Amino acid sequence: MTSSVPVVVIAGYLGSGKTTLLNHVLRSARADGTRIGVLVNDFGAVNIDAFLVAGQADGTVSLGNGCLCCAVDRDGLADALATLARPSAQLDAILIEASGIAEPKALIGMVTGLTDPRLRYGGLVYVVDAVHADAARDRHPELGGHVAIADLVLLNKADLADRSTLDRLGAELRAVNPSAPLVATVDAAIDPALLFDVTERRADADGPQQLALDELIVDEHRHDHLHADYQSVSFESRVPMNPRRLAAFLERPPYGCFRVKGIVHFDVPHYRQKFVVHAVGGFVRVHRERWEGETPSSTLVAIGSGLDPDEVRRRLEDVVVGPDDPDDEHGILSIARYLPA
């Protein structure tokens, strides 16, 4: 299967927990072998010293766990993404820390406007400090606008705020953005599988093993908090799907859904190939492949937090072609418009 690398934008005001989230994902990557590319304005956003540095060249630091960190500004973003997208990097995801590079809305436009088929938009994750949210909103009235365009909102430092504050902030954030999943976190600890597909790679047991410094020394500041929960709901069907209704599902997913992935079968002349779909926050990416000896069928997975599994499955069942569906010769255009030019 041809794969593309999701580009996830991380934003939030100073002190909200963006750096903590970046380092949490990098630490998790070392544990399971996932390869992450990180784009920051300043290497200070990543705790480079906590990882074994395997090499450095042209503004890129290679970490011993296969991850890459690049220091860029707005003008260098496109070139940096192209560098990280090269097949030899074998990255599973790219994270952009928005501070110092561009405003979140501008970054979304830049990433969704990419024509490189090796890259796709992976969503805007906005981190909100539960303790200082009110003060941040007073200083930065644009915070509401940033939350409104987020695909996933993290209400961080939930352990430091009382229940009434969390409930009030949760209601206010949902009022601004009723569609994005809202996840309360401690130390910005979320399961990376919420953001992207985690690829586990086994190290060569007979080869040399590289250990980061903090694997050898007990870190007194390291917490054993569990990842914030996420959900995945799977749906399979051998009956073809209705392209117009599928497009509506991908563009307007159920509440709590951060991303959708899968393969889809349409019984439409000239469009009976395997369709591989990815969608985040209404942004849809589609490409076609051959059915290599497989029986055509559809498998879709909705991933998020606060999902109603029954509602997700009900909506996907409605996408399946029914015996009373009218002829809709132009319906496939709802999906075909997302194919690469």
Q: What is the pTM of this model?
A: 0.84
CA distance 334 to 281: 17
Cβ(156)–Cβ(136) under 8 Å?
Answer: no
Tracing tokens 């469009």 back to the chain, one arrives at: 271
What percent of the chain is predicted at pLDDT more than 90? 57
| Domain 5-216 bears CATH identifier 3.40.50.300 | yes
Taking 80 as the threshold, does the pLDDT of residue 229 lie above it? Answer: no
Residue 7, CA distances (Å) to 42, 97, 116, 137, 333 in order: 18, 11, 12, 27, 26
Is pLDDT above 90 for 294? yes
Please report, for the chain, the start and end positions of each structural domain, with discontinuous segments joined by +: 5-216, 231-336
Q: Which residue has the higher pLDDT, 102 or 196?
A: 196
Q: Which token pair is 267?
A: 């019984």
Amino acid, res. 50: A
Identity at 17, one-letter amino acid code:
G
Please state the CATH superfamily assignment of the domain spanning residues 231-336 in this structure: CobW-like, C-terminal domain (3.30.1220.10)
Least reliable range by pLDDT among 26-30, 160-164, 246-250: 26-30
- 231-336 has the same fold as 5-216: no
236-255 tens-digit pLDDT: 999 999 999 999 999 999 99
Per-residue pLDDT tens digits for 61-118 = 555 545 566 767 777 788 888 888 888 888 899 999 887 667 889 889 989 988 888 9
